[in-house]
Structure formats: structure tokens, C-alpha cells
Structure 1
Amino acid sequence: MPYVNIRITPGATEAQKAELIAGATELLVKVLNKNPATTFVVIDEVPTENWGSGGISVAERNRKAGG
């Protein structure tokens, strides 16, 4: 029973999320021969102020880039 957790910042459409779920499931079926009916994919949207790299949050990086 595979469990895949995808974390992204907000902004993906419902259609894009559906494609991520389908694609992750398809990959596990193809590569590991997993049953799609028991493959779980969860998408977490992490606010940009809670996601950082290079020592600053994405929100801060976006503010600096815009102004």
C-alpha cells in the first residue's frame, strides 16, 4: 500500500493536482508493479511563508523579486 506525499506551494489548479495524482500512481504501477487501487497520493499545499531555501522563505524571496 504505497503512500506518496507531494508538497507544493499554493497555486496549482484542481486539474493540475489531478494530473499529479494520476502521474504518481501511474509511476508506482509501472516501476514497482503496485496496485493503483491501494496507492494513496496526498497533496499538501504549504504556504510560501512556511517554505524556504537558501535561508529565506519563498514569500520573502517573492517580495524581494517584486520590489
Structure 2
Amino acid sequence: MPIITVQILEGRPKEKVAELIHNVTMTVSETLDAPKENIRVLVTEIPKTHWGKAGEPIEK
């Protein structure tokens, strides 16, 4: 059973997260010839205060 973990910044609409889950599932299913029912996608939304770039939080 493939398990895919995706980390993204918080703030996207739930419809976009659902679309991401669907697209990742379909891509993995086609690539690995795995039934989509066996694929798990875990999306973790990271607060902007906990995501750094160039040594600084994205949002202070």
C-alpha cells in the first residue's frame, strides 16, 4: 500500500487540498499500477510561522 506524504503551507482552500489528494492518487496509481483504493495520501499543512526560507520564517 503506497503512502504518500505531502507538506504544504497552510491557507489553501479545502477544495484545492482535495484536488491535490486526487491528482497525487491518480498519478501514483498509474505509475505503479496500484489500485487507487490502496493508496493513502497524507497532507500536512505547516503554519507560515513554522516554515523558513533563507534563515527567516516566511511569516513573522
The structure carrying a bigger helix percent of its residues is: 1
Rg comparison, structure with higher value: 1
- Give the whole-Å Cα distance in 2 for the aligned partners of 1:15 and 1:9: 15
Alignment of 1:44-55 (within 5 A): 44-55=44-55
Shift of 1:57: 1.1
Gaps of 5+ in 1: 61-67
Deviation >2 Å, runs of 4+: none
Which whole-Å CA distance do the structure 2 matches of 1:44 and 1:57 have between them?
Answer: 18
Q: How many residues align?
A: 60
Normalised TM-score (structure 1): 0.82
Supply the AA of the counterpart residue of 1:56. Answer: E
